[in-house]
Structure 1
Amino acid sequence: MTQTHIRVFQHTLFLSGVLATLSVSLAAVDWHKTPAHVPLWWNLHAHPLLWVPRWLGLLLLPVLTLLVPCSLYLILSLWDGSIKNHGEESKYMLSQIILLPALFLFTVQSFTIVPAAMSETHDLGARLFVATVAVWLLFWFGKIILKLEPNILLRLIAPWETTNSSYWSNVYFIASRIFSMAGESLFLCAWLVPIGWPLLLVFLICLLGPFVAMWGVSYAYSQHSGPDQSLVNQASPQQTDT
């Protein structure tokens, strides 16, 4: 990667560090007013199930807010040499993929974990948590992948390679629509479906369903794609717009 592109990813890691610091600050504001033990896990009805020491319950997500983006950056920089040939737009979207876990974890920490630790009942804001997953991990993720070129991270969505150069753009156009629609559906269900088994089932279907659907699409498309130019070397951001 060029120095310009390295700075883009470094800025992303810096933003992750800022979010992690803000998460710690939010937990520290009322630290001494928080019980010595706080919930880390909740049951189907959002009632506390697993209790841990305060430092673990309030600092776990801030640490992950920085650790997960750094891990993604290392995976891309060390194990995926193809990203140096990506276009400007794809590299920018890759930086958004790296930042996405930090945004999600910061939101969860700020609006569900800390309020639950400091409330009298310690119940989790289940609807807000599900809505957060819908916005960041499904809807926004779906928007980002539409502009991405082939990379190691997105093999989780489409693991089957093919020699057809249109494979990536076609499959990820479908993936973008599926993930975005799943996010929209889950966001609505977060406020309408009863908390408990109904909300859990909807949550699992909307979260895991897009991956299962895309594995099927990826496999089917790879079996019916004819020989063409190399997928990794020829895919470009412009292909995703067609």
Structure 2
Amino acid sequence: MYLNFLKWIKEKQELLQNKELMICHTPAYVKNVSLSSFDLSSCQVNASTVSCSVIMLLTVGVFLFLIYKYYFQLYYSVVLLSGCKHSAERGSTYDAFVIHSSKDHEWVMKELVEPLEGGTPPFQLCLYSRDFLPGVPIVTNIIQEGFLSSRNVIAVISSDFLESKWCSFEFDIAQSWQLVEGKAGIIMIVLEEVNKDLLRQRLGLSRYLRRNTYLEWKNKDISKHIFWRQLTGVLLEGKKWNHEEIKLM
């Protein structure tokens, strides 16, 4: 509306009397400027300026959306990076941190924990249900007691694992841990009843399984023999023995 008024003044100056008395009062940068000599180009919006502003707003919007969506992964990847600087100095408490769904707890205890911790040689596993410190946030326990205190990570892949957001979060952090610590890899155990369609929907995990060797659990004696030989072979790599373990052997 104001622009049309200024244009009219420019075009109809001969009709105006005492036009020199017609001056601007606001905004401050044009105060006391005569309306007849006002530069109309200053009111025009530059197309390139608008385009740059829109692009910047979209970029900031996308950036904020990514931060919101991946906040946990970004934040705890930073925590993991800072914690790994001190993990080598304090050593590893556990031979492996086990990532699994709570619905697979019975299988983990019976088929994994009991044979490994009660076998010869014995291995010490970290389980969230047993070894996480009470009164400490879960995510802090995952980083401090899980990844930074363990030599390896064992991921028990099942249909319930694929549907769990916590398992997905832990697996994402495990890959960051693997990268930062320079580990050979994450020990993947795929249970035989895994939903293949659901697995294909998890692109990151599906891609990881295609690119890395993993173990399969099957209820057959010959398959179990191969399974245990391969699993204990991986866990033995880099293991430091104490006097009690040497006596048991």
| Same fold, judged at TM 0.5 (above) | no
Return the structure number with greater helix share: 1
Q: Which structure has more RCO (C-alpha within 8 Å, separation ≥ 6)?
A: 1
Larger Rg: 2
When the two structures are superposed, what TM-score results if normalisation uses the length of structure 2?
A: 0.25
When the two structures are superposed, what TM-score results if normalisation uses the length of structure 1?
A: 0.25
